[in-house]
Structure 1
């Protein structure tokens, strides 16, 4: 077929990804106006006149296209030439007779591709295998490979090879992703992808106590990307920003920095929602993630001389599940959760009496995958381990887990070689009940405080053993349900549930169960929620004695049945709040929050607009915030604000935002501890 028929593979989506929609529209107008035609037509190449310019094209596709206009890259004249060629009546075979792009890829020599792409791209391509599901969609003249969890996709065009692949990423980031797409096609078609010998021989970077040159360069790229995003403004982002972060996440993971990669991946998902103006998007949440990313980059550089600290900051290349001895576990209940990006899952919590700690196992699906995976199907239909049945069945007794695969963070792998057996529930006189959970609120709060920061291990849940409790208290102004529980020393701790639709099952289950005068409560499983300045403890499950046996009630799945003709007063008020659907107010901050929240608001406004410097009004407000912080004894945030005013830059903004948020988080824990008071 003629050399110029290769340009039929470039549809409008591919051209838009290579240039932009506006430039493509201008090129189309030139074609419609008759400003494009042949100047020279050869057997291997040709020259096309487009609006007075000379465009040179050949069979190598757009990577080799040249135009004599001064515009850099892919100009409107080249786009016009491609659009014009697509519309020419040639003797080329019909599209159905063109060779399959998938077959073309399966015939590529991977060894040659690896050599051409380079070692950095090969590392990135193999690292992409761990970034969730891959979608491959065949189209006329090519196919598209997408990673939904990363928000990344690229297009392979028949006849153009790896060099002719198209994506929205900058040229410097394309090689690894495009190679990863080729490997994904091989795997999807049952082909074995051989790992290069040099890649197998490389030791994971986490075994070294220093950052190497490639890792330092990646940290530079991450910091530069954050700077560019804020210079553009969070209110003006496009999808390209998220795609670039997704590609960076793949590169970072390939270089042995999995914790940084996970944070980049989460930020990419948040920015995708922002770019789409999704209701779930939140620029404040995005800025907080960016500040934490910047802080992690700084901590990685500072921790280079301390191997142990650097290892924690790096994270693990993969969750290392190690097979161990059988575990005797007490199921505590399960929770249902959904993320901003649409992922959803069920997490089962268990108490390990021998180790005296909590362990968890999770069933989850990413956004848009498996429509049969929903709340109650995950609870009463899907098995976590062979022999155990569903989470509902497991929570009816105790659990023995053979050959468990346990990670360092106490997470249990589901499925695999593990085998489980549901045993009889614990009896009321079981001596293990005496060691169940936390009975001193001071100790529990101290563990929460130690989990704050980049090097701490965040505490996700607690098991509390209250000795007594007060009736539920509904705060209709704050739109929350409070439940005060007391430990053995008479110290009080308040558990809270927001009155919002996503919490409906928990609200109804808790209000109905505690209304039962016969409930013999022995322990409460709570989730640690840090979404606001004040850390909240949310009840997830209740453990109680029934017929001399310990039973669990999962509030997400086990609401008590209605008593005929009767609705508890508290439950009725909760239902009226849920039906009103008012926006609940934010939690009232403490002293640090009252000083720093206005500071955060000014930084957020600056980041939203993308101005290079704060305006005069913002400078005055920032100076006032610095004075207020200093009067409250918050010297570090005050000093960082002074520095930012003297030398405004993105690095200073992110540094100040991270420190201010950290101070408010610590105060939130202090507030929680202050609530631990003698009754």
Structure 2
């Protein structure tokens, strides 16, 4: 007789779960064997059943078919194991009458309660756990079944089944073995987040003090293997995007030798994800992003191989943003913004400038995707106290003396319990004579590079600065780019485009900007500078003029009812545009155009594949000659080198640095 406890422990293995473990055809064959009487019980004991399926002995226990030995010795899942499970789950005449009940959806909270995040982290291992945290954004779909939860992660094929009572090893998916632990851990985190259960903080804002980096000597053979894999990306990733290459990159990223290389491991996972998108012909695939990631990872591998001890810690990277104690700070609040990421993280960020040095610092109140449903960024901005002094709505527009805070290398301030701010002057608006205030738009490229860096030294986030325009024009809506464009002029007479993308998050900012500047506003503008494909983009954050500053994303117009009337501001903008000056974007200069063309040529070569690259040799020589004529002989020589994958990636990284150095400023004429 079959132990009822064993039957209960295997109840999650319905046809859907068994098909995910093997394939639907094998499940159908197992059902046929069962119907034809080819499956019988040999012996049953407490927690175990010995079942003969088509002449092969299978020994089942609570661990399920994946751990069951079968006499056929097949390494993959066989129909004998599946048939044995079906046999055990089939009611018999010996079962008590009325025991079988119609299947009902499981209680997700009860099912997921057995999957403790701390135990999940230990099961996954360091590298796979980091990968899981990266991938555990909002799931594309979560389906609660009778004895399982099916999770489909965005961009991944097939569902991951979290089975009741089977533990971490009983999670089922079609994922490759090297990716399995990371993907299964990500699915559990995504499911817990979906149903409001506690998940680890995946945002890099924790108040973790920086420790001295431990001595680390990269393993040359491991780095050489990564370099070869990146060379294969250049040879095949843009063209064929083979599955083994994606799996190889992911396997390298979660290997034990990658534990001490978190930065490089994260790059490899990002490259693998882009290769998957290329193979799927997804609209989100971006060859520019893939080339930038691959060439930067190749440069990082070379730099680690060179063994420059002075830069070792920065090159290796950190799992989380590190914070270190800082001296007392004299800060002037310049404004803030509300934001939300594509994965669902949301929060508010306040920006400060250090009065003496002009250094930009920021602090955030945020929650990760699905964390703390009660957290409302707007309410936190107005009511949650920071540094024992007051809410950000007050601190972001005051002069502060801050002591006991911690600071990260990229200028993020944390809020430990010991931090205390004293408000020196409430509502202290910054003035145009502050260090670092930009009056000439030609200086913006240098301001951005000073904060963000280049190549391997590039920072994670955008830069910030204050603009002091001498004149402004009426904002207008660019229908082609779907952006609000606000022209502002510097002291030399040059016009700059400040832009707001037209999306759900920006509607409030667009209406706030239109309502404020229509009244003849003059003053300073806090802007966020981001590097995009065609150059720099400048987004207005806060308008600082007469009266109280206007934080655009946090603005509420008088009589606000919670709805933004899009047609009203768009109609007003178009009406004011009639008869006013018409602006157009200033074309990029010859050097920028030559660099962009050479970059696009490399992408064309990579997408053409090895068989067709010879057809582009003439174009390569022409691009190299053009770079030579613009005074960039080193770049030209790198481009002329014969086309090994390594030489191509070296040329791509050099072009990437040159394009970053000469990022176009969005000027208007």
| SS of aligned partner of 1:410 | coil
Residues in 1 aligned to 2:316 and 2:575: alpha-carbon distance in whole angstroms: 44
* 1:580 corresponds to: none
* 1:353 corresponds to: 355
Q: Are 1:290 and 1:654, in contact at CA under 8 Å, matched by a contact in 2?
A: no
Residues in 2 aligned to 1:362 and 1:660: alpha-carbon distance in whole angstroms: 34
* 2:204 corresponds to: none
* 1:171 corresponds to: 177
| SS of aligned partner of 1:260 | helix
* 2:217 corresponds to: 210
1:153-188 deviation per Cα after TM superposition (whole angstroms, max 9, x unaligned): 977767767655545554356578889999999xx9
TM-score (norm 1): 0.69
343, 352, 364: which one aligns with 1:341: 343
| Residues paired across the two proteins, number | 611
Residues in 2 aligned to 1:176 and 1:340: alpha-carbon distance in whole angstroms: 21
Q: Are 1:234 and 1:283, in contact at CA under 8 Å, matched by a contact in 2?
A: no
* 2:31 corresponds to: 31
Query: What are the ranges of 5 or more consecutive residues in structure 1 without an aligned counterpart?
Result: 191-202, 578-583, 607-612
Residues in 2 aligned to 1:622 and 1:207: alpha-carbon distance in whole angstroms: 47
Give the C-alpha shift of residue 306 in structure 1: 0.9
Residues in 2 aligned to 1:576 and 1:102: alpha-carbon distance in whole angstroms: 57
* 1:485 corresponds to: 489
* 1:513 corresponds to: 516
Q: Are 2:528 and 2:540, in contact at CA under 8 Å, matched by a contact in 1?
A: yes
Residues in 1 aligned to 2:373 and 2:165: alpha-carbon distance in whole angstroms: 37
Task: Tell me if 1:631 matches 2:626.
Answer: yes
1:288-321 deviation per Cα after TM superposition (whole angstroms, max 9, x unaligned): 4642563354244334x21122221122343232
Residues in 2 aligned to 1:230 and 1:314: alpha-carbon distance in whole angstroms: 26
* 1:609 corresponds to: none
* 1:58 corresponds to: 60
Change (3 A) 1:599 1:367: farther
Task: Tell me if 1:672 matches 2:665.
Answer: yes
* 1:591 corresponds to: 593
What pairs with 1:27-426 in structure 2 (closer than 5 Å)?
27-32=27-32, 34=35, 37-38=38-39, 41-43=42-44, 46-49=50-53, 54=56, 56-59=58-61, 61-65=64-68, 72-76=75-79, 78-87=81-90, 89=92, 122-124=125-127, 164=170, 166=172, 169-172=175-178, 206-208=213-215, 210-212=217-219, 217=222, 220=225, 224=229, 227=232, 255-263=259-267, 281-284=284-287, 287-288=290-291, 290-292=293-295, 294-295=297-298, 297-303=300-306, 305-373=307-375, 376-389=378-391, 391-414=392-415, 416-420=417-421, 422=423, 424-425=425-426
Give the C-alpha shift of residue 528 in structure 1: 1.4
Residues in 1 aligned to 2:74 and 2:146: alpha-carbon distance in whole angstroms: 31
Residues in 2 aligned to 1:337 and 1:227: alpha-carbon distance in whole angstroms: 38
Task: Tell me if 1:553 matches 2:550.
Answer: yes
Q: Are 1:506 and 1:555, in contact at CA under 8 Å, matched by a contact in 2?
A: yes
Q: Are 1:356 and 1:435, in contact at CA under 8 Å, matched by a contact in 2?
A: yes
Residues in 2 aligned to 1:253 and 1:172: alpha-carbon distance in whole angstroms: 14
Residues in 1 aligned to 2:364 and 2:597: alpha-carbon distance in whole angstroms: 39
Residues in 1 aligned to 2:469 and 2:87: alpha-carbon distance in whole angstroms: 80
Give the C-alpha shift of residue 229 in structure 1: 11
* 1:197 corresponds to: none
| SS of aligned partner of 1:454 | helix
* 1:544 corresponds to: 545
| SS of aligned partner of 2:332 | strand
Task: Tell me if 1:464 matches 2:471.
Answer: no
Give the C-alpha shift of residue 360 in structure 1: 0.6
Worse-matched range after superposition: 31-40 or 219-228:
219-228
Give the C-alpha shift of residue 351 in structure 1: 1.4
Give the C-alpha shift of residue 411 in structure 1: 0.3
Change (3 A) 1:492 1:319: same
Q: Are 1:534 and 1:672, in contact at CA under 8 Å, matched by a contact in 2?
A: yes
Q: Are 2:335 and 2:541, in contact at CA under 8 Å, matched by a contact in 1?
A: yes
1:134-155 deviation per Cα after TM superposition (whole angstroms, max 9, x unaligned): 9999987788999999999977
Give the C-alpha shift of residue 237 in structure 1: 9.1
Q: Are 1:132 and 1:149, in contact at CA under 8 Å, matched by a contact in 2?
A: no
* 2:205 corresponds to: none
Worse-matched range after superposition: 397-406 or 527-536:
397-406
Give the C-alpha shift of residue 358 in structure 1: 0.9
- The alignment yields a C-alpha RMSD, in angstroms, of 5.7
